[in-house]
Structure 1
Amino acid sequence: MQKILFSTLVSSLLLTSVATADTNKNLSSKEVSTQSTTTAISDAKSHQVALVKEALKSLELSAKALEDLNKNKTDEAKKDIELALGKLEAILVAKDTPKLLPIETQMVIKNFIGTADDVKKAEAEVKTLLNLNKVQEAGELLSSLQSEIDVNIVSLPLASYPDALKLASKYLIDGNPEKAKAILKVALSTFAQEEQIVPIPLINSMELVAIASKIAKEDKEQALKHLTMASDKLNKAEALGYISKSTTTYKILHEMITNTEKEIKGPNKAEKLFHELAEKLKEFKAKILSTKETNKAE
């Protein structure tokens, strides 16, 4: 499920610039940047992973079974566990059954609106505050240095949850409700959590490059402005610490933008350069070190 979510969300955001470039030709660089952020947020919302209703209902029934046991209603607890397992039957017998069943999803937008220089100034201020032992103020300022779309998914681990219900049922049949309660408590408090992070400055840079490629022939001056801001956005992403597993580096991306700018100023046959730059940006963003998978016990 995690891989499916990642490809659905990120692939969608990677295509955002391609889909909107034709409609944003007449916008200024700042307007393009703002519009691409708004579009990416909207797109991320529309592609949030669907919660598995059967998993949610199964959890409700398991919680009810635990409540039944706390009230010494053993027979009711047995029925609820059977129903909880029944809710998962269709999933368990299906082909390519996912290992994780999403039960909760949340999206958070964090958008530091400053430039790369503003980031550096803030970092310097953080160091000053720490030297003055103003740790809380430093922490608050440091936490503001993020520009990203965060998608958090809490999932039910299918590898362990059904077995836990079966074991709880066995304990009840064997006349050991206390062990059944202990198993249910663990099953109802152990989840897998995944966090997806999509850096907003990279989305902005991709959109600016996409539109610059569309208008380079008809509006050379505006195309160059777009590329300048695209480079600025890369500086911001780097200053904020977004790192990619790609062999492409920020330095390489800046060099490609510079070469494209030179071509626009000269013969202006930059189509191939634009294509190569766009592809490198996509690949770089797709490999951002942003996926965190943890086991969550509550």
Structure 2
Amino acid sequence: MADAVKAEPVKQDVVAGAKETAKEKQDAYSAEAIMAIKNVEEAIQLRANGKKDEAVKKLEIASGKLDVAMAADPALELVPLEIEVATFDLDTTPDKVESDLEIIEDLLDDGDVQAARELLGQMRSDIVTRTVFLPLAAYPDAIKLAVSEITANKTDNAEETLITAMESLVEEVEILPLSVVRAQDAISDAEKVQDSDKDKALKDLDYAAAQLKVARRLGYFYTDTVGYRAFKEDIEHLRHAISGKSKTEQLFDDAKNSVSKLLDKFRDKSPKE
């Protein structure tokens, strides 16, 4: 039965790929922007210590660093400053998820909220990429304003301007369900062995279906049942085709397209302040 299929260990290239993507994103523009942030932080401290001239110099350096970043890509609006990738892997099955959810519900009914919270906190299986961005639209102007305020001896205003600028950093959190990634890998594996080992291909499809069900029961498709159903149907069509020796090329293309769209929806997140 599909529900009996256990989750395989996360393929290292999945996690490595997420980290590499994050690194490429950061390396592209961040060196100058990170230096700019460092100089602004130093300027705030210098101003607090009454070293007005040194603070202005630090801000001028920061402004120059941001000019370099903007010149590299005039259309760039957000520069990634800090990127963290974390993996939360849950070795489970659809039936086990369902059982754990029932236990959580019973604990809540009994009023044991803390025990329920501890168990609920484990009900996840994903790669989380957290990115902190510098908004280029407002930050450079804030630095220039602070310089003019310090020069005009409005140091309190300058400090407020700089602190407000530092607080304007934008955070984006991308959550990629590992169960869906596993299902995607299983579809690719089934495609490779469909001609040489039909039984293995069918087991791969069972595994993909089970992982998709795990993702659904963990709530990753709470707002996208359409995408879930489309991929589920593609897997079922593939099972029938392989069992009946029908042509599968288009069906595999459909399945890979469906799961790619699902993952893209998780990747396509707007930055949140």
Q: What is the TM-score of this pair, normalised by structure 2?
A: 0.89
Seen in structure 2, the aligned counterparts of structure 1 residues 136 and 245 have a Cα distance that, compared at 3 Å, is closer
Question: What secondary structure does 1:241 align onto?
Answer: coil
Q: Give the drift of 1:223.
A: 0.7
Where do 5+ consecutive residues of structure 1 fail to align? 1-28
Contact 1:244/1:284 (CA < 8 Å) preserved in 2? no
Seen in structure 2, the aligned counterparts of structure 1 residues 289 and 92 have a Cα distance that, compared at 3 Å, is closer
Cα distance in 2 for partners of 1:294, 1:97 equals 20
Question: What secondary structure does 1:190 align onto?
Answer: coil
User: Which residue matches 1:8?
Assistant: none
Question: What secondary structure does 2:266 align onto?
Answer: coil
Question: What secondary structure does 1:218 align onto?
Answer: coil
User: Which residue matches 1:161?
Assistant: 139
- Alignment partner of 1:106 is 2:84: yes
- Alignment partner of 1:43 is 2:43: no
Q: Give the drift of 1:119.
A: 1.2
- Alignment partner of 1:88 is 2:66: yes
> How do 1:237-252 residues align onto structure 2 when only pairs under 5 Å count?
237-243=215-221, 248-252=226-230
User: Which residue matches 1:254?
Assistant: 232
Question: What secondary structure does 1:288 align onto?
Answer: helix
Contact 1:100/1:158 (CA < 8 Å) preserved in 2? yes
Question: What secondary structure does 1:151 align onto?
Answer: strand
- Alignment partner of 1:272 is 2:246: no
2:120 to 129, 136, 142: 142
Q: Give the drift of 1:62.
A: 1.1
Q: Give the drift of 1:246.
A: 6.7
Cα distance in 1 for partners of 2:180, 2:13 equals 13
Cα distance in 2 for partners of 1:290, 1:129 equals 36
Q: Give the drift of 1:91.
A: 2.0
User: Which residue matches 1:281?
Assistant: 259
Q: Give the drift of 1:30.
A: 6.4
Where do 5+ consecutive residues of structure 2 fail to align? none
> How do 1:1-298 residues align onto structure 2 when only pairs under 5 Å count?
33-34=8-9, 37-48=11-22, 49-51=25-27, 52-243=30-221, 248-288=226-266, 291=269, 293-295=271-273
Q: Which runs of 4+ in 1 moved over 6 A?
A: 244-247
Question: What secondary structure does 2:233 align onto?
Answer: helix
Cα distance in 2 for partners of 1:290, 1:123 equals 29
Q: Give the drift of 1:219.
A: 0.6
Q: Give the drift of 1:85.
A: 0.7
Moved more, 169-178 or 93-102: 93-102
Contact 1:242/1:289 (CA < 8 Å) preserved in 2? no
Moved more, 282-291 or 80-89: 282-291
Cα distance in 2 for partners of 1:246, 1:156 equals 31
Identity of aligned residues (%): 29
Deviations 1:231-285 (A, max 9, x none): 1011011111112877843233222222221221223422222222222221222
Cα distance in 1 for partners of 2:130, 2:87 equals 11
User: Which residue matches 1:4?
Assistant: none
Moved more, 74-83 or 222-231: 74-83
Contact 1:111/1:148 (CA < 8 Å) preserved in 2? yes
- Give the AA of the match of 1:202: V
- Give the AA of the match of 1:78: V
Cα distance in 2 for partners of 1:288, 1:86 equals 36
Q: Give the drift of 1:226.
A: 0.7
Contact 1:196/1:292 (CA < 8 Å) preserved in 2? no
- Give the AA of the match of 2:26: A
Question: What secondary structure does 2:201 align onto?
Answer: helix
Q: Give the drift of 1:153.
A: 0.3
- Give the AA of the match of 1:266: G
RMSD: 2.1
